Structures are given as C-alpha cells and as structure tokens.
Amino acid sequence: MCYTTFELFLWPTHVINSGKWTEAQVALTTQPWIHRLEHSGRSLLHALAARGLDQLCRLLAFAAREEGSAGQEIPTADLIARFQRGQPRAFELLYDRFRHYVYRIALFITRDEADAEDAVQETFMDVLKALPHYDLNGPARFETWLYRVTVNRCRSRHRRKVLPSEEWDAVEERLERLPLPDLEGDPEGTFLDRERATALWRAVDALTEEHRTVLLLRYQQDLSYEEIAQVLSINVGTVKSRLFNAHRKLKLGLEGMQS
Amino acid sequence: MNQIHVDSDLLAYLDGELDAAARDRVAAHLASCPQCADELAELRRLRAELRATFPAALTPVRLPAAADRRIREQLRTRTGRPRAWWALWQWRGVAAQVTLTLLVLFFVASTGLLPSAAPAVAAPPETLILGQTQFAPGSQAALRVVVRQPGAATPVPGAEVSVSLAKAPGLAKLVYQGRTGTDGTAPVAFTVPADLEGAAELVVETRAPGGDSRISRPITIARRVKLYLNSDKPAYRPGQTLHLRALALDAVTFQPVASAPLVLEWVDAAGQLSARRTVTTSEFGIATLDFTLPATVPTGTLTLRATLSDTVAERAVVVDAYELPAFRVTWELGRTFYGPGERVTGTVEAAYFFGQPVAGAAVTLRGYTAEPQPALAAEVTGQTDAQGRLAFAFNLPVGYGRETVAPQPFTVELSVTDTAGQRVGLRRELAITDQALVIKAIPESGRLKPGVENRLFILAATPDGQPTAATLRVTVNGQTSELATDAYGLAVLRFTPPAGSTQITLLAQGADGTTGHVDLTLKAESQPQTLLLRTEQAAYTVGETLRAEALTGAAGQTVYLDVVHAGQTVAALAAPAQEGRATFALDLDGTLVGTVELHAYALLADGSRVEDTRLVMVDPPQRVAVTVTADQARYHPGETAHVQVQTTLSPTGEITPTVLGISVVDESVYALETLPPGFVRAYLLLEKELLARRSQAPGLDLPALTSGEAALRAAQDTAAQAAWAGASGTAYTLSARATAVATPAPARTARASALGWLVALLPLLLTATVVNGLRPTGLLGPALRRTGWGLLAFFLAAPCLLAALFASRLALRVAQGIFLVALAAASLLLLALLIHGWRRRDVRVQLVTGLLVTYLALGSLLVVTTGRALSGPLAGLIAVAHLLTLGALVLLSQGLVLEGKRVGWLAALLAFLLALLALWLPTVVDSTLTRAVGNPVLYAGPAGWLSGCGAAPTEAPPAQAPATEAPATTEALAGVTAAPTGVPLPTATPVAPAVEPYPLRQLFPETLYWAAEAHTDAEGRLALDLPLADNLTTWRLTALASTQAGELGVATYDLVVFKEFFVALTPPATVAVAQPVTVTLTLYNYLPQAQTVRLTPVPADWYTLLTAPEPVTLAPNAVTTTTFTLRPECAGTFSLRVDAAGERMSDAVAVEVAVGP
C-alpha cells in the first residue's frame, strides 16, 4: 500500500469510510523519521506552549510523510513507541488492532459475554497503565505480554462464573451451521466436518481451563511453545506436557462422546 | 530398536518444537513402531481439526460494537483526547490543501485578475495637487492634496495619500502617509530628506474607495539661499582694490550656509566679465574676495555678482576717476512741495569731513522750471556764516504748476565754494502743484472682493509723496463716513462692496488746512465666488501665532490655506467656512523667518480656484545689537584708535559670539550711498517684490517695521499691510489634476493585508518544515552550524558588498531586462528543486518547494496588485519573513549538501537570487512593500539593521561626500588676489619719518580697514587697534554682525581725524613730461592764533621747480590756497612732497604723482 499525498485526496468517500483511511494514515505516519520529527516538533513547540502550533506541526508531519516503505502490517512496536513518546492516538490504534483478539481470548476463557467485555476493558486499562513502562527491546513480543494480561484478567473473573453465556453457546451453534464440505475440493480430507467440529469443540469445552487456554493459544493465536510459556508464565516443558495432556484428554473425550 | 514409546513427544515432534536429538530419536522410533506411527497420524489429524475448528469457531467473534464504544470512550477519557480535535485531525490534510487552494483563488479573484471580480462601487475620484517644484533639503515642506468626486466636487474622506520623493526609480523615500479628512484633503507635511539634492521625482499616490491614482512630477531639491553682497565702498577709482564680502544665509532657516562654493565675479561697465573666482564660505556663511581694479578698467557702473547654487546677488558700484569732495553740503527745505507762486525757504549747511564748518563759503542757488522748456526762474546768492550755514528764500513763478494734473518739477541747483575755492554742487527737484493733498485708496486684496467685508487703505500724502495726517470724508455708494489718517497717512475703511463697480469719493483736509479730493471707481472682482484673506498683522516675530481669516460668500465650503516660505509650501491648512468665514492659526517658528506667503483658495467644481494672497513678514526673535565705542572723540593723523565693538542679542541681552564684517572708509566716499543702516536685515528678510512695493505706502519704514518698539511697529504694520496689499506671491509651479483609475474591489485594503499576513506567515511554515525535515536525519545541527558560519561570513562582508554595489550604482540602475533574466533563473532553479523532490521521492523538498511556490505566487500577487495598500508595519513584517525564507532555504541547502545531495547548492543559489530579486524589486514595482522587501539594509546583516532598518526605509549610503575642499577655480584673473579670511591688516601702514620735526602725511587711503570676517570673543567683544591714516576726515566704521544662528545686526560709528593746521596737496589729474604743472596747496588753520607758513616743495630728481610758493599768513579758522609750478622731467610715478613750516604748527604732505609721457 503506497500512497502519495495526492492519491489520498483522490480516494472516494467509501474507501475513507471503510476504515482503510485510518489504516493508510497509520501506514504513512509510522516512518521512523516522522516519529522523530513529531517528537522533536513537540519538544520544540511545547516550549511555545501552543497547541495550535502543535496541530500545525502534525499537519506538517502528515504532509511530509515518506512514501514507499509502508508495509502490509504496521509494526506494533512502532505504535507502542509512538504511545510512549506521548501520542495518545497510537494507543487507540493498538486497541483497534487487538481488541477482537483480546475479546476472543476473554470470551473463550470466561465463556461469558459481559465478563469478557469487562475483561477486555480491564485488560486495555491495564495495558494503558503499563504500556509507558513496556520495554520494547525486551525478549517478549507485545502480543504475548498482552495475552498474559488478558489471561490473568480472565482467570480472576472466570473463577467467579460457572455457567456459559449465550454468546458462548452461539459459538458452538456457529460450528453446527458450518457449510457442508466440498468433497472434491479437499482431496486430503482435511475439511472440517460440521459434526466432527462440533464434537471437537464440545470436547474442548469439557477440558479444564488450563488445557483450554493452552489449546487456544496454540491453535487460535498460533503461538509457539515458547510464547505460550511466556503468556502463561510457565516453562516450555510444562507447555509441552500440558499440550500433550490436553490432546490426550481431548482424544479420550471424543472417544467417549462417540461411544 | 528402541521400544520405549514416544507418544508424549509426538505432538512436539509434529509442532517442530523438539530439539535435533529428540527429533532424530522420535523419527527412528516411528520407523520401527507402527503403533506410534498410528498414534502420530491420529494426532496429526486431531491437530489439523483443531487448527480448523478454533478459527471457525472464534474468528467470527468480535467485540460487540456497544462494548467497543464503551471501552473506546473509557480509553479516551483516560488518554484525554478531545473528540472535536480528533475529527478535525482526520481531515487535516484535505482541509490544508483545500484552504490553500481556496486562499490562492480568493486572492486572485479579489485582485481583479479573474473576470468574476465585483463591479466598481464608486465613481473614480479625482486628485488635485498644488505645490511648488522647488524644495530645500532638510526643510519642512507641505503639499496640497485634495481627493474629491469629479463633477459634484464633493470631498472624499478617508482616502489614503502617500507622498514619496525619488532620486532615482526605485530609490523612493516615503515622506508622508495618511488619510484625507472630511474636507477631502490630507495634511501632507514632511521634512525633505537632508541628503537629497538635485533633480528628483515627487510621487503622490492616492487610494480611495473608487480608485487609485498616481501622480509623478519632476521636482528640484536645492538649498535656497539668501545672499547679501557688499563691498567696502560704493565708488572706486581705477587701480583701487575692491573688497568684496558675501553673506550666505539659508533662505528657510536663516542659518549661515557654511562650506558652500560661492562664485564671486564682476562685470565691468562695458559688460565684460572680468574676473570670476569660487570661494568657499566660512562657518558663518561668509565668502570674501579682494581684487584690484586694473588701471584701464572702463569707468561707469561695475556689477559685482555672487552666485550660490541658483541664487544670484548683485551689487552695482561706481568706477570713476572721481575727486573726493572737500566738504559735505546738506540743505533743508521747508517743504518738498509747493503751490504755484509760493515762497520757498530753506537752509544750507556745509562742513568739512574732519568736522569743521565751512565758513564764508559762497553759495549760489538757482531754480529752473522744466515746462515748457528749462528756464532759470530764481537765483539766490550768499555766504555761509561761521557755523557754515546760510538761510535762503525765493519765490516760485506764479503760473507754474497751476491746474495741472501731475505736480510740476522745479529743479533747484546749489553750488557752494569755500574760501579755498573748492566747490561742491547739489541738485534737487521740488514738486509744484495746487493740489495740496494726494489721496490714494488701496483695497487690501489689491482688488475689491464683492460680498464680503473689505478693508480699504486710504493714504493721504503730500504731493511729493510724504504721508501726512488728515481728516477724511469718505462717501461710498452714497454713504458718507468720517475717518482720520494716522501719522503715516493711513486710514482704514471697512465696507462690503457689491458686485460690479463701487463709487468712492474722498475728501481730505490736512492739519495745515490743505485739502485734497478724489473720485474713484473701484471694480470688484468678477469671479464666480469671492475669497478674501486677512491677517491680523503684516509683520510677526517668531514665536507669535499668525491668525488669518478667509472671508467667502459661500457657506460650508472648505477653504484651503497654503503657507509658502522661500518658494516652498511649508504648511497646507484647511478649514470649513462657517458663516462665510474660515479661520486659521499658524504658530510661527524659526523656519518661517522672512517673507511668508499665505495663499487662500477654494476649489471650484471645474478644478479652477478662487484665491487670495497675503504676504507677511516674520522677524527673527532676536537680532544682534552692535555697540561701537572708541577711546577718543578725535584723533590726529597717524594715531592709533582703540575701538571696542560689543555685540549682544537684542532684546534678551544675551551675549553671543558673532562674526563681524568691518569696514572703515573715508566718509566722503559715501556721497552716493543712499541705503540707510538697518536695510541689510530688511533686504534679507523681505522678498524683492515687497521691497519694491514700499512706494505703495511711503510711510513704511522697513527698519522701523522690524524694530522692537511696539507702538511704532503697530503703526508701521498698517503701512506694511497697505504697502503689500495685492502682492501676488509665488505661483504654484506644481499643479496636477488626475482622475483615479477605477479599482474593482472596494475592500481591497483588508484583503491586501490578509494576503500580506498570509505571505508573512508562509515563511514560518516553510522554516518549520525545513527544520522538522532535517531533524530526523540528525543533520539539523551540522546544517545549522554551517549556515551560521556562512551567515557570519556574509554579515561581515555584506556591508562592504552593498556599499560597493551602491557606490557603483549597479544594483539600482538595473534594467528590467536583467530583472527578468534573474527571475527566469530563479524559476528554473525552483523547477529543478521541484523535479528533484518528486524524482527522488524527497518529501521535504517537495513540501518546501510547494510552500515556496505558494509563497512566491501569493507574494507576486501582493506586489503586483494590492501591495500599495499595505501598511508600513505589515510590509516590514513581510520583509522580515522574506529574510526567514532565505534563511530556511540556506538551511535546507546545507542539510541537503550534508546528506550528499548536490542539489542543495541549487537551493542556496535560489536563496541568493531571491535576495537579489527583492533588492531589484523597487525598480520594477515601486510601493511600500517593495521598498521594505528591497531595502538594502535588510540584507546588510546586523550592522545594517542596527544602522537604520528600524527607521523609515532608507536610501543607499551616500556614495560620496561632496568635495567641500574643492580648489578655487579661477577663470579670468585680472588683478585678483585671494582674500584673507581673518582680520586683514589695514591697507595703510604709516611710515614714521625719522628726522622731520613734524610728521609727514603721505598715506591717504579711502578704505582704512577691511575685515570681512572678524570674530568676536565668547563675550561678543572685539577690540580693534586702528592705526589711522593721514587723511583729515571722518572715517565711517560699519560693522555688520551675524551669528551662527543667523541673527543679524549692523552699526556705524564715526571716527574723526583732525589736526589744527594742515595742508592739502592736489596735483592735476593728468601730468605729462616737460609740461609745466600748477600744483594747488590748500591750507587749513584752526589754531586760535594766526600764523605764517613757509611752504617748501622738497626737491627731487624728477622735476624742476619753476615758481616756488609764497609764504602764507593764515588767520584763525581760515582756509586758503596757494600754488606753485613745476616741470616733470621724466615719466613715472613719483612722490611730491611739500613741507609747510608754520610758526606754531607745521605739516608735511606727500602725494603720488603719475607722470605720463
């Protein structure tokens, strides 16, 4: 996605409304020299204590964005860095990027819509509080850190709830409504059988929270063992055994269901 | 074969999370263990299913919108971002671009470049200008500028008026900026720049809602001077030395004109320019020159001339081989006019110049009638008494002068011959008429102004023109009133004349019963409107307030009053006429000394004007009082007179050092001098025309008018008003009328200033862009440093560079062609930068060039269209902003160069070109803005800024000071000798004879002493030791004093040289070789006793004595003559000496005798 300033102005309204607009802006305003420029601009103009000039500087920064290096994905680290340099807008962009992931984790763990929403809010509040001190050069990815916060938040909520919510049931129902597989298009037979998937989901649901979380991180969030270990604050061996056990119990559960 | 199952590692194996050793182990086991292989397959399937199921189940899960909004809101309150700003921020880019485009379009449209411009709302007004084309540097000047609607002639208030003086195109100095008042006139008053001289251009620009106009007229800026030229004597003999002194005063300030080249020359009676010499005036404005008249100079009137710039002063002296009179004759007549047949009575008095009366002189008086032909009508003879007096009487012919229109002249010739046979003759004309009183009526404006109250000066005078007191009976259009004239023969009648003619009958009766009668028909002015200007007084002193009123028939009209001094309008006043009367007040300061002309006028619809002019005299507040005292009442020849000259300022009595021009001249030379002492001041204060007008009111005595005595002055004031009534004054040499060019936009000033602000702010944006663009690359610091060093180097060199540029006048006289070439070069550079920015994807350069293009486009628009409407401060701001632009460009160039982009140098070159273009801009478009942006001082670095950037737009540094020490150029040198500027030595140095028992008198100069520039000490004192020559006469000492502040004063003093017995030797005028010559000896004896004198011509080689003089016996107070004869033997100039040995007192005299072949 390479935009020149003038192309941006040629965009039709629906593109702008679709949210691509913000993405494009973000893409254009995350170049390193722009960060420095904005930062230095701030320090320069803060001295003048003039918010209007600050805005002017932003306008400049926007207009002066460099083209050609904007990738598909905006580095999360850049957003964090911008937030840490005092741009509150960057946090909203982080939120935009991770809100659904966090919600999925929260709903999966808490199985309750309201709890999940609260967990999301609490998570992001925690992140907002902790992000200024987040070490970008640390060993952990931001995602693993975010999921750990999420998981911790959810665990503290999950303990208080027993029954799954409607939203959680809707997840299972969605699996039941999966379209019939196109047999010819899937010669290896790896297609997802509607019933098999539902059964599998039920088996997952029957697992302990510990095992479900490991599976979620592994198969939904696609984390490595190492990352899972970081999210859950356990060692890799435990992750390995916990995953093995989860699979074993899942297999047993499925067999039990079939029998 | 390893039989230990590896099922717990299988998942990790599948996920690739095992280390190499474990992986190999598992792989080996799987190859051998079908159970585990199955397990692996099953696990793989499960894994694939999970991988599909989890996303299928969870990916559609999204945070519900409500929750999303709630959380987002929560986060925003935590991060504290204002929502409105956020919304704006989303659209900032578009908004910026749209705003810029709209702004450019708006300004282009508002300047009328697009056809969609609004139609004109007001008819273009017209501008009228009245003034003079002559200006004096450094003086106060004013200009009448009236902006009004043509046709209805309604004034246009609030129109902007700016006046500038331009020495060369683009070097205009804004001298006035303001707005017209409700009367449509702007109070244009300004000081003419002191450094501006020569031909220049006066530009008047007006901006009114209906349109603009620009009037440009050539003017001359030259120092105007008043010159007073005087010589030591009024008459010269060929071969004598003429001492010349010129006093140059500034016509405006009356300050001495110092260090000015003054050309002194003389033209002989044959009209031949005989000598010319340029003399530099001293700090007191005095230039002096002595030259010897050649012996062959034609006799007649010799014209002395002094020229300083355009001012010429002339003075005529007589060159003649004259004989000085032996004594002075004065005669008094009872009257200077007589009726036919009346008896003329009078007295004659004769006195020798050394003070003794001429007793026993034979007096012959003859009277001649002139009409129909000269005829002897009366003869009286007699002898003077011991006091040298004689009373005489004779009757006039009965029929002569009766019932004639004009007085008939009656010439009286007087001849007085003393006992020594020396004769002096006089002639005088008497007026003979039966009309005893002459009555004249002078309207105060020269002509009657109908409809307003006029003053009519009525002068009663004797037939010879002497004013006299009389009672008057005046009948004006049937109405009779009684008046009495004052001591100067003047009465003032006030009445309102109707249009057309006015019949005036004047009957006068003098104190002695004489009567006069005159019938007058005075025609009133036939202008469509009346305007009469009246001042309270005719003469003022500095510090007083001049009050004038203008009477006009029309009500509510604006009356303009221009005050003209030294040919230059110095104040332009305006007042509305209320009840037919407009009043003005003007404080008179030192710059108005001299003749001040008041021009009052009202403008008519067709641009013509009704006007009236009054002249008043403004006297300096102080004058120099000169007091001369001598140590003795009388001196003997050869003695030294100790004379003290004391100068003080009058009336304050303040002591001031002055410079004196002192001449000590034999009084007998002053026979022709008629000008009274004190005339010098009047001569310098009054215009020539006013001096000439003295005859209109004969009672006017100029020295008295400027004297300090209040009563005398008040009486004289009326006389002056009468004398100067109707004087025309200076004409308006600068008169222009222009109709404005219609402007379409009524609110252009506001738009111009908005555009101005935009143009001033764009450089800020530009600079911020450059700074922020360089900062991330880390090169801002080095670039700033490089720029700083570069600027420092430039600042050090800039003043010299600019001075050199201006010295060569290269930067100013640039042709428009060169300007266009520079403009093209700058455009090319800009284009190159633009292309570089786009091709190299350098957003900073793109942005900078974009801003620069916008800045230049809007700036050019501003300059071309509405720049003249800008105010000075905003123009200054834009000029500073322009500097900022240049600085930003240089900074960018250094940043780019540091980044290894050579295109940076193009930016630097562009900055240089933009500076040059700005410098040249005033030569292309001249306005406040271009003058501010193109002010060379701006580019001269801090040195230039400190030296006057904050002041008004300044000129170039003066290229070269005029050479003040120019060597005197002599074009024709006929006996010219350089004049000493200090106190010269007396021309006569007595040589004391060694052995004679009585001093030999041999030096008889006519000018005893001449000092053109004698400085008093700090107390205003000057002590003179005057070694007196051998003349027996009265020396008249004239001291003409002037101070550095321009105050003047004059005094005369008589030094009497006398001896109780002396002999005068008079050889004939022409003496030839071998021709016998009779030499006359005149002996004067004022000893109380009689004495016998032995006369001995001292023998010499050059002559042979033919008959020796007889001894003479002289009674007391006797004057007698004797002769002797000699024969010159050779040609040449020789001394002839005669010793007169008396019993009680002796004398010896020697004279030069020129013997021709």
The rounded mean pLDDT for chain B is 78
Query: Is the pLDDT at A164 greater than 80, yes or no?
Result: no
Contact flag B76-A92 (C-beta cutoff 8 Å): yes
Paired with B300 in beta bridges are B319
Question: Stretch B1061-1069: mean pLDDT, rounded?
Answer: 83
Query: Is the pLDDT at B155 greater than 70, yes or no?
Result: yes
Query: Is the pLDDT at B715 greater than 70, yes or no?
Result: no
Contact flag B92-A197 (C-beta cutoff 8 Å): no
Q: Which of B11, B62, B769 has the CB atom closest to A244's CB atom? A: B11
Q: Which of B92, B771, B775 has the CB atom closest to A59's CB atom? A: B92
Which amino acid type is present at position B668? S
**A63: distance to nearest CA of chain B, Å?**
7
Question: Stretch B925-936: mean pLDDT, rounded?
Answer: 74
Question: Would you call the peptide bond into B651 cis, given omega within 30 degrees of 0 as the criterion?
Answer: yes
pLDDT at A68: 35
- Cβ-Cβ contacts under 8 Å, B67 against chain A: 103, 117, 120-121
Range scoring the smallest mean pLDDT among A142-156, B166-180, B796-810, B877-891? B796-810
Query: Is the pLDDT at A106 greater than 80, yes or no?
Result: yes
Query: Is the pLDDT at B964 greater than 60, yes or no?
Result: no
- Cβ-Cβ contacts under 8 Å, B17 against chain A: 224-225, 236, 240
**Angle at alpha carbon of residue B227, lines to B225 and B232, rounded to 5°:** 160
Burial (0-12, 13-18, 19+ Cβ within 10 Å), B855: buried
Question: Going by C-beta distance under 8 Å and a sequence separation of 6 or more, which residues neighbour residue B810?
Answer: none
Contact flag A175-B71 (C-beta cutoff 8 Å): no
pLDDT at B427: 81
Contact flag B64-A113 (C-beta cutoff 8 Å): yes
Paired with B154 in beta bridges are none
Give the whole-angstrom CA distance, residue B448 versus residue B523: 7
Percent of chain B past pLDDT 70, that is, above it, reads 80
- Cβ-Cβ contacts under 8 Å, B60 against chain A: 174
Give the whole-angstrom CA distance, residue B195 versus residue B137: 7
pLDDT at B767: 86
pLDDT at B431: 80
Question: Going by C-beta distance under 8 Å and a sequence separation of 6 or more, which residues neighbour residue B825?
Answer: B913
* Structure tokens, B542: 């500095």
Contact present, B418 and B1119 (Cβ < 8 Å): yes
User: With a threshold of 0.95, does the pTM exceed it?
Assistant: no
Percent of chain A past pLDDT 70, that is, above it, reads 61
Paired with B357 in beta bridges are B351
Q: Which of A59, A108, A172 has the CB atom closest to B96's CB atom? A: A59
- Cβ-Cβ contacts under 8 Å, B54 against chain A: 215-216, 219-220
> A70 falls in which pLDDT band (50, 70, 90)?
very low
Contact present, B1002 and B1139 (Cβ < 8 Å): no
Contact flag B776-A104 (C-beta cutoff 8 Å): no
* Number of A–B residue contacts, CB under 8 Å: 185
SS3 B915: helix
Question: Stretch B657-663: mean pLDDT, rounded?
Answer: 87
SS3 B103: helix
Contact flag B775-A171 (C-beta cutoff 8 Å): no
pLDDT at B450: 84
pLDDT at A51: 53
Contact present, B904 and B890 (Cβ < 8 Å): no
pLDDT per residue as tens digits for the range B27-46: 888 888 888 888 888 888 88
DSSP 8-class letter at B356: -
Q: Which residue has the higher pLDDT, B333 or B677?
A: B333
Buried b (16+ CB within 10 A) or exposed e, B123-147: bbbbbbbbbbbbbbbbbbbbbbbbb
Give the whole-angstrom CA distance, residue A196 versus residue A174: 13
Q: How far apart are the first and last CA of chain A?
A: 53
pLDDT per residue as tens digits for the range B2-35: 456 677 788 888 888 888 888 888 888 888 888 8
Give the whole-angstrom CA distance, residue B619 versus residue B709: 13
Q: Which residue has the higher pLDDT, B630 or B623?
A: B630
> B382 falls in which pLDDT band (50, 70, 90)?
very high
Contact flag B56-A61 (C-beta cutoff 8 Å): no
Contact flag A95-B844 (C-beta cutoff 8 Å): no
Question: Stretch B1019-1027: mean pLDDT, rounded?
Answer: 87
pLDDT at B695: 58
- Cβ-Cβ contacts under 8 Å, A124 against chain B: 71, 75
Among B7, B61, B72, which would you mutate to test the A interface (most chain A Cβ atoms within 10 Å of its Cβ)?
B61
- Cβ-Cβ contacts under 8 Å, B844 against chain A: 64
**A138: distance to nearest CA of chain B, Å?**
22
- Cβ-Cβ contacts under 8 Å, B99 against chain A: none
- Cβ-Cβ contacts under 8 Å, B48 against chain A: 190
- Cβ-Cβ contacts under 8 Å, B47 against chain A: 247
pLDDT at A20: 47
Q: How far apart are the first and last CA of chain B?
A: 171
Q: Which of B17, B75, B844 has the CB atom closest to A91's CB atom? A: B75
pLDDT at B362: 92
- Cβ-Cβ contacts under 8 Å, B75 against chain A: 91-92, 95, 124-125, 128
pLDDT at B314: 84
Question: Going by C-beta distance under 8 Å and a sequence separation of 6 or more, which residues neighbour residue B409?
Answer: B370, B429, B430, B431, B432
Q: How many CB atoms lie within 10 A of CB B964?
A: 10
Max distance between CA atoms of chain B, in angstroms, equals 189
pLDDT per residue as tens digits for the range B465-501: 677 788 888 888 888 888 888 777 788 888 888 888 8
Which residue of chain B is at minimal alpha-carbon distance from A225?
A: B17
Which residue of chain A is at minimal alpha-carbon distance from B848?
A: A64
Among A147, A174, A219, which would you mutate to test the B interface (most chain B Cβ atoms within 10 Å of its Cβ)?
A219
In the block, tokens 């000092």 appear at B1011
- Cβ-Cβ contacts under 8 Å, B777 against chain A: 33
SS3 B717: helix
Question: Stretch B159-170: mean pLDDT, rounded?
Answer: 78
Which residue of chain A is at minimal alpha-carbon distance from B75?
A: A125
For B4-39, the three-class secondary structure string (H helix, E strand, C coil) is CCCHHHHHHHHCCCCCHHHHHHHHHHHHHCHHHHHH
Range scoring the smallest mean pLDDT among A190-204, B473-487, B990-1004? B990-1004
SS3 B633: coil
**Closest CA relative to residue B235, chosen from B668, B857, B625:** B668
Give the whole-angstrom CA distance, residue B515 versus residue B507: 7
Phi and psi torsions of B623, nearest 5°: -135, 170
* Structure tokens, B327: 């004594």
**Closest CA relative to residue B1110, chosen from B1097, B1100, B1119, B1099:** B1097
pLDDT at A41: 54
> B717 falls in which pLDDT band (50, 70, 90)?
confident
Give the whole-angstrom CA distance, residue B293 versus residue B318: 12
pLDDT per residue as tens digits for the range A1-25: 344 333 433 344 444 444 444 454 5
In Å, how far from its chain's centre is CA B754?
41
Buried b (16+ CB within 10 A) or exposed e, B886-914: bbbbbbbbbbbbbeebebbebbbbbbbbb
Highest mean pLDDT: which of B390-399, B576-585, B683-692, B944-953?
B390-399
pLDDT per residue as tens digits for the range B442-471: 888 777 888 888 888 888 877 766 777 888
Query: Is the pLDDT at B972 greater than 50, yes or no?
Result: no
pLDDT per residue as tens digits for the range B94-149: 555 567 667 677 766 655 544 433 444 456 788 888 888 888 888 888 888 888 88
Contact flag B52-A220 (C-beta cutoff 8 Å): no
Q: Could you tell me if the ipTM is greater than 0.95?
A: no
Paired with B1072 in beta bridges are B1156
pLDDT at B814: 58
Range scoring the smallest mean pLDDT among B410-414, B433-437, B1057-1061? B433-437
**A20: distance to nearest CA of chain B, Å?**
12
* Structure tokens, B1128: 């010159």
- What kind and span of H or E run contains B761? helix B748-774
Question: Stretch B744-749: mean pLDDT, rounded?
Answer: 51
